[in-house]
Amino acid sequence: MITKNKKQLTWRYSFAIVLIVAGLLILHYNIGNEFLGFSSVGTWLIYVGFIMLAIITLQLISNKKRIVDERMQIIASKAGRLTFLAIILVSFIVMVSDGIKPITIPYSYFMSYFVCGIILVYVISYKILLKYS
């Protein structure tokens, strides 16, 4: 029930390093600009990789025992289902509203709002369920 074991830490460190290496390779060979259409992809990957490394290291340094019990896991899955429903509902609303009046904001902005919204819905529903169920 208590997470943060060695195997998990190794996986997380490996993933962060993979992100950084991928970012460096994309930058070095100019893949982002030539094939992916976004020149900053490599830089972003490196940025996310370093942020991840920092978070994992901070969690490792702090000796706070983090408990994730079965009730929290069940609530997390419930919050996931709620988020999924919210995505479907919002997508439908966006489709209808786009039909009525075309959405003119840039695609990158739209996706940023959408992803932030998904995260927000998940966190809020998780917190509410954790407290009241």
Partner 1 sequence: MKTKIKEYRKKLSMTQEDLANKVEVTRQTINALEQGRYNPSLELAHKIKKALKLQYIEEVFMLK
Binding site for partner 1 (CB under 8 A): 1-2, 67, 69-72, 130, 133
Report in angstroms how near the CB of residue 129 gets to partner 1 at its nearest: 11
Cα(96)–Cα(98) distance, integer angstroms: 5
Radius of gyration of the chain (CA): 19
Contact 129, 73 (CB under 8 A): no
Contact 121, 63 (CB under 8 A): no
Residue 21 or residue 68: which is nearer to partner 1 going by CB? 68
Report in angstroms how near the CB of residue 100 gets to partner 1 at its nearest: 43
Cα(54)–Cα(51) distance, integer angstroms: 5
Residue 69 or residue 98: which is nearer to partner 1 going by CB? 69
Please report, to the nearest 10 degrees, the dihedral formed by the alpha carbons of residues 85, 88, 92, 97 taken in order: 90
Report in angstroms how near the CB of residue 1 gets to partner 1 at its nearest: 5
Residue 24 or residue 130: which is nearer to partner 1 going by CB? 130
Report in angstroms how near the CB of residue 75 gets to partner 1 at its nearest: 10
Residue 7 or residue 65: which is nearer to partner 1 going by CB? 65
Q: What residues form DSSP beta bridges with 67?
A: 2
